[in-house]
Structure 1
């Protein structure tokens, strides 16, 4: 395990060595923004450093309440509920909507937290090939009990997006819930950063719930579930990962409020990300011995094939001071090991040049 001794950012001190990183989910470069630190310090002075109890006891503070209201207003939904982590949010929302006798139809490339959520819910798990709408429809037609379609908005290892318009249509036709994990989309996709639905020009319906994390584009910690009032009220009563855990520190919620204000007002950060991704894809498309996956997001995987080659390439990059992780089985299928490159709005043009130079060198490894 590596140990960092500096703020999160493109340039970090890790294991006593300076590194240029391309592996963080700090997509907008907010985790070390002094405005967030100022908001957190002020709230810690006023509210202390811990919530001390679950939300429904006496651990729900004014910053929590205001953040939930502001998230709901930003997304144009009735309600948003905070969770301590994105993993807990996914466990909570799925377990609140379905149980034994019900069926969850899930994309095969969903995040581990979504897979675990179904298993813990007791519902039957039916998995369809990645973004295969025909197979999804067939499985929906055979499903028993309450139906729930479960998908990532942006898939964490491939960087591609779910076909939301078609998923919404199928959910409506089969009277199914649609739960979308927007961890890698909120703050990043859409003109205003409202995520996958805004990017697709869609307005979520009453049976759509969206899960977002605050530890990625927002640069803080925690998560939320956003949607219509009725299912969020059910979640409030049934979600064990909400009911039986201490709330996140109110100071973190206040820092997230500052982050949300920046997400809403500084669209140049998303424009910068788009510019970096476009420049990278143009240059990486001619690299020998790697496959650039079809992603328009800050997640830019380069498939290299065998795990041993991916590890060797990551080590060669590390020798040059570049931190780019090798992703290999069982995280991805055998034969599709990859270098997973992620970008931040805080990356500079020279950072991109260094990355491309390192990649050109290490692609000679066979």
Structure 2
């Protein structure tokens, strides 16, 4: 932890001294493993241990991996206690909706729980094609293909489409799955400053001619910052420089646009301006998995060659049915999108009014509260948990230490009273921290 959790030099020294005394009281380790078999030296393990020990030394309970009892939506139950919950991607409140549960149960009765093998090997289930047709229609695309994992969708698709002679140009805050897909492909990878289409064009102008294919990748709605790119200029520059444009809609479907259709509806861009629409089924659509929508040759190629599809079990039929029903409810009940966006706008306005740094959030579903140090974020999360609010801190090294934050995911199921009470509790915790002299 090179930045010491945001502690002052004296506080950091005291913490390290406490950790040293704690280790000194531990039992002597057993016989040492040979270097190649010593799992305690795996990369990153020491950092995880340091974070855990630092939290214990500071008297902070880990906020991660808490078991939720029941459906985790706008409200949840943890350890038998009810909480207002801002740590769920259940944007439209559809996970737990009786209609979605009924669709999943009916699919189990008809097809069982699992697809049991890859779709190439074991054949299709009708619900797979129905889901893909509905998603393709949302993007006005020729075809769509559903995968068993959202993360694996980006990894296997980018890894399959590109090779060492190609170029992947992506936003510097792009999701890990895109970075991993680019690494797998062997293509040259260049990151441009966040949401800066002019910088992206400069990079394309400088490097495009040296490569066979070029893929420009951005997200429709960034989950860490709650902001969104200007889609139109990215589409224009991709076409101008003969590059494919791919947009990750994981947090955009159901959140952006007047009816939740995504970033193209929000920005007024024709969906055909984007070559590859990627999304996930685990947020708005109450399931698990990913999808690619686009032109038919692209989807046909992936259906027969993408390793993450061909060699992976097919999407479980009850998950496909849940996603299909969720999409249908989203389209039939646009008030859910309106309420989500109103809740996010209210939270954003109140948080800013209370003096919190919310970064570049556009207030459509995700609002970060940037606190500037991991200790401050962890302490704020602990104080809110004590007050009956569940929200996750995002700490170094996931974000730079100065950008440590709480990340609030809003839902259509939250109400104004809960949002006002949460911001008030956050302000009270901050003011209490200042009285105690804890670092900002």
TM-score scaled to structure 1, two decimals? Answer: 0.96
| Equivalence for 2:408 | 341
- 1:112 paired residue among 173, 176, 181: 176
CA deviation after TM superposition for structure 1 residue 191, in Å: 2.1
2:279 maps to 1:215: no
SS of the residue 2:69 aligns to: coil
Q: Deviations over 1:152-185 (max 9, x none)?
A: 1111100100221111011100110111100000
Structure number with higher strand proportion: 1
Contact kept in structure 1, 2:347 and 2:420, CA below 8 Å: no
Shifted more, 205-214 versus 186-195: the winner is 205-214
Q: Deviations over 1:20-69 (max 9, x none)?
A: 11111110000110101111111111111110111111242011111111
CA deviation after TM superposition for structure 1 residue 342, in Å: 1.1
CA deviation after TM superposition for structure 1 residue 226, in Å: 0.5
SS of the residue 1:169 aligns to: helix
| Equivalence for 2:215 | 148
- 1:102 paired residue among 147, 161, 166: 166
- 1:41 paired residue among 105, 108, 125: 105
Q: Deviations over 1:55-89 (max 9, x none)?
A: 11124201111111121123211001001111011
2:264 maps to 1:197: yes
Contact kept in structure 1, 2:260 and 2:330, CA below 8 Å: yes
| Equivalence for 2:200 | 136
| Equivalence for 2:250 | 183
Shift in CA distance, 185/334, structure 1 to aligned 2, threshold 3 Å: same
Structure 1: where are the runs of 5+ without partners? none
| Equivalence for 1:305 | 372
Contact kept in structure 2, 1:91 and 1:114, CA below 8 Å: yes
State which structure, 1 or 2, has the greater radius of gyration over its C-alpha atoms: 2
SS of the residue 1:335 aligns to: helix
Structure 2: distance between partners of 1:238 and 1:313: 47
Structure 2: distance between partners of 1:169 and 1:163: 11
| Equivalence for 1:294 | 360
CA deviation after TM superposition for structure 1 residue 214, in Å: 1.1
Q: CA RMSD in A?
A: 1.4
Structure 1: distance between partners of 2:150 and 2:215: 19
2:312 maps to 1:248: no
- 2:191 paired residue among 127, 131, 155: 127
| Equivalence for 1:77 | 141
Structure 2: where are the runs of 5+ without partners? 1-64, 434-439
Structure 2: distance between partners of 1:279 and 1:207: 31
SS of the residue 2:195 aligns to: coil
| Equivalence for 2:56 | none
Contact kept in structure 2, 1:96 and 1:234, CA below 8 Å: no
| Equivalence for 1:317 | 384
Structure 1: distance between partners of 2:287 and 2:222: 21
CA deviation after TM superposition for structure 1 residue 228, in Å: 0.9
Contact kept in structure 1, 2:285 and 2:322, CA below 8 Å: no
Structure 1: distance between partners of 2:123 and 2:316: 9
CA deviation after TM superposition for structure 1 residue 137, in Å: 1.3
SS of the residue 1:138 aligns to: helix
Shifted more, 202-211 versus 29-38: the winner is 202-211
SS of the residue 1:20 aligns to: strand
CA deviation after TM superposition for structure 1 residue 93, in Å: 2.0
SS of the residue 2:371 aligns to: strand
Structure 1: 4+ residue segments shifted above 6 A: none
CA deviation after TM superposition for structure 1 residue 294, in Å: 2.5
CA deviation after TM superposition for structure 1 residue 115, in Å: 0.9
Shifted more, 100-109 versus 291-300: the winner is 291-300
Structure 1: distance between partners of 2:407 and 2:113: 35
- 1:54 paired residue among 110, 118, 122: 118
- 1:166 paired residue among 228, 233, 239: 233
Shifted more, 157-166 versus 3-12: the winner is 3-12
Structure 2: distance between partners of 1:59 and 1:309: 52
TM-score scaled to structure 2, two decimals? Answer: 0.80
| Equivalence for 2:329 | 262
Matched pairs, number: 365
Structure 2: distance between partners of 1:74 and 1:126: 31
